[in-house]
Amino acid sequence: MQSWIPLVPESASSFSWQVDALYFYLSGVTLFFTLLISAVLIFFTVRYRRRTPYEIPRPIAGSHKLETLWTVIPFLIAMTMFGWGARLYFNQYKPPQNAIEVYVVGKQWMWKLQHATGQREINELHVPVGRRIKLIMTSEDVIHDFFVPAFRTKADVVPGRYTTLWFEATKPGKYHLFCAEYCGMNHSGMTGSIYVMEPREFDNWLSGNTGSSTPAAAGQQLFQTLGCASCHGANGEGGRGPTLAGLVGRDTPLEGGQTVRADEAYIRESILNPQAKIVAGFQPIMPTFQGQVTEDQLVQLIAFIKSLPGGSGATPGASPAASGPLPSPRASGSPTENIR
């Protein structure tokens, strides 16, 4: 179906056809009004062309009725466009449950990706079809943007913070990955591919691609070598420092009365700028690790902390190799992916 309609890219995610539908609606309305205005203009220009050199037409003051009509109707149409787009967007950005997490670090001019199960990729991402994939992304240098046209989704990748993007691929294949925020000399070269695979093929790929430890395991090592265990305990049980087990997603009371919901950004900040938020009841004695850990290592530490027993969110250890359909409203095989 794609080969002869060069109007839209391939539809390969659960969003794609939804976004395309909105696109066709807006295109239709645009075409309608453009043709309408053009036709009226052409008609008037011909019908009311000047016939004698000195003729003066009768002036017409205006019409409140018409003004109201052509204010209210466009406004209502605009509201349908707004509402539809907003609803789709809200769904698109709501972080999903039970998603496979992949950590993405963008840098000039390449993408570094690491699966929760340890596989590392450069400029490529292999994912299974029919599963929700959540990308947790940051940049090492300037702002980049992770853009997959076939999935109709993108998000800026910003240094100093984590941004997320999720999708559910619906069609196996190979799709473009572009950097879509100008980032310097080789911006046009910062491209790659997303490989969407059938579950069995993906399992094969996974097993053929081990070799590096999972980010959580690497994080555990760092936790020891950097000395975190001496205050937080080897398994995050706490001590001179707060307990880290089960931290993520938990509301944490701070010195000074505030409460903060612990997430990846909070952990990252606590490692780099520990004085910023002191947990209630603890001393401000944690040293800063600014300059001593790279973005990759931060990601690994965060993965380790998330993996500690009692931790919430998608358990990175959940193996996609487990067979059987996972609880998902769009279990593979449903007809919705084939809808265009």
Partner 1 sequence: MIESHATTQDIHGHPALQHHFENMEQQREAGTIGMWVFLVTELMFFGGMFLAYALYRNLYPAAFASASNHLDIVLGAVNTGVLIVSSFTMAMAVYFTQVGNRRPQIVCLVLTLILGLTFLGIKAVEYHDKYTDHLIPGRLIPSAPFGPAVQEEGQPLDHHKLHLLPGATLRQVEMFYWIYFAMTGMHALHMIIGAGLLTFLILYSIKGRFDPEYHSPVEIIGLYWHFVDIVWIFLFPLLYLLGRHFEHG
Partner 2 sequence: MQPIESFEVPAPPKVNYINAQYGLKSWLLTKDHKRIALLYLASITFFFFIGGLYAMMIRLELLTPQGDLLQSTTYNKVFTQHGIIMIFFFLIPSIPATLGNFLIPMMIGAKDLAFPRINLLSWYIYLLGGIVTIYALLAGGVDTGWTFYTPFSTTFSNSYVVATGLGIFINGFSSILTGLNFIVTIHTMRAPGMTWFRMPLFLWSLYATSLIFILGTPVIAITILLMAFERLAGVGIFNPALGGDPVLFQHLFWFYSHPAVYIMVLPSMGVISELIANFSRKNIFGYSFVAFSSLAIAVFGFLVWGHHLFVASQSVYAGMIFSFLSFAVAIPSAIKVFNWTATLYKSSISYDTPMLYALGFIGLFTIGGMTGLFLASLALDVHLSDTYFVVAHFHYIMVGGALMGYLGGLHYWWPKISGRMYPEGWGRFSALVIFVGFNLTFLPQFIAGYLGMPRRYHAYPPEFQVFNVLSTAGASILGFGMLIPAIYFVWSMRYGRVAEANPWHLPGLEWRTQSPPPTENFEVTPIVTWEAYEFAPPEETEVVGKFGPEPERI
Return residues touching partner 1 (CB under 8 A).
255-256, 273, 275-278, 284, 288
Determine if 234 is a binding residue for partner 2 (CB under 8 A). Answer: no
DSSP one-letter code for 254: B
102 binds, among partner 1, partner 2, none (CB under 5 to 8 A by kind): none
For residue 264, the minimal CB distance to partner 1 (Å) is 18
Question: Which of 154/277 has CB closer to partner 1?
Answer: 277
Residues 6+ apart with CB under 8 A from 13: 148, 150, 151, 152, 153, 167, 168, 169, 170
Task: Give the x-and-dash track for 179-208 against partner 2 (CB under 8 A).
Answer: xxxxxxxxxxx-x-----------------
Give me the DSSP letters along 139-197: ESSS-EEEEEGGGTEEEEE-BTS-EEEEEEB-S-EEEEEEE-S--STTGGG--EEEEEE
6 binds, among partner 1, partner 2, none (CB under 5 to 8 A by kind): partner 2
9 binding partner 2? (CB under 8 A) = yes
Residue from 11, 14, 92, 300 in contact with partner 2 (CB under 8 A): 92
Contact pattern from residue 137 through residue 176 relative to partner 2, giving x for each residue in contact according to CB under 8 A and a dash for the rest: ----xxx-x-x-xx-xxxxx-xxxx-x------------x
H or E element: which one contains 61? none
Which residue, 64 or 327, has its beta carbon nearer to partner 2?
A: 64
Of the two residues 194 and 206, which places its CB atom closer to partner 2 in the complex?
Answer: 194
The residue among 73 and 285 lying less far from partner 1, judged by its C-beta, is 285
* C-beta closer to partner 1: residue 216 or 279: 279
Of the residues 63, 224, 230, 319, which one makes contact with partner 2 according to CB under 8 A: 63
Q: Which C-beta is closer to partner 2: that of 60 or that of 122?
A: 60
Distance CA 107, CA 110 (A): 6
Structure tokens that stand for 247 in this block:
């931290």
* Contact between residue 165 and residue 101 where contact means Cβ atoms under 8 Å apart: no
In this complex, which beta carbon is closest to partner 2, that of residue 86 or of residue 234? Answer: 86
Residues of this chain, 258-277, that bind partner 2 according to CB under 8 A:
273
Q: Is 295 in the site for partner 2 (CB under 8 A)?
A: no
The dihedrals phi and psi of 251, each to the nearest 5 degrees, come to -80, 125
If the CB atoms of residues 124 and 255 are measured against partner 1, the closer one turns out to be 255
* Phi-psi map region of 227: left, alpha, beta (phi>0 left; psi -120 to 50 alpha): left
Cβ proximity of 244 and 286 under 8 Å: no
Max Cα-Cα span within the chain: 97
Residue among 208, 9, 181, 190 nearest 126 (CA): 208
Please identify which residue in 65, 256, 259, 327 interacts with partner 2, judged by CB under 8 A. 65
Element (H, E) at 135: strand 132-139
Given a contact cutoff of 8 angstroms between Cβ atoms, the answer to whether 104 and 136 are in contact is: yes
In the list partner 1, partner 2, none, the entry touching 232 (Cβ below 5 to 8 angstroms by class) is: none
Q: Is 59 an interacting residue with respect to partner 2 (CB under 8 A)?
A: yes
Which helix (H) or strand (E) segment holds residue 124: the answer is strand 124-128
Picked from partner 1, partner 2, none, the partner binding residue 234 (CB below 5 to 8 A depending on kind) is none
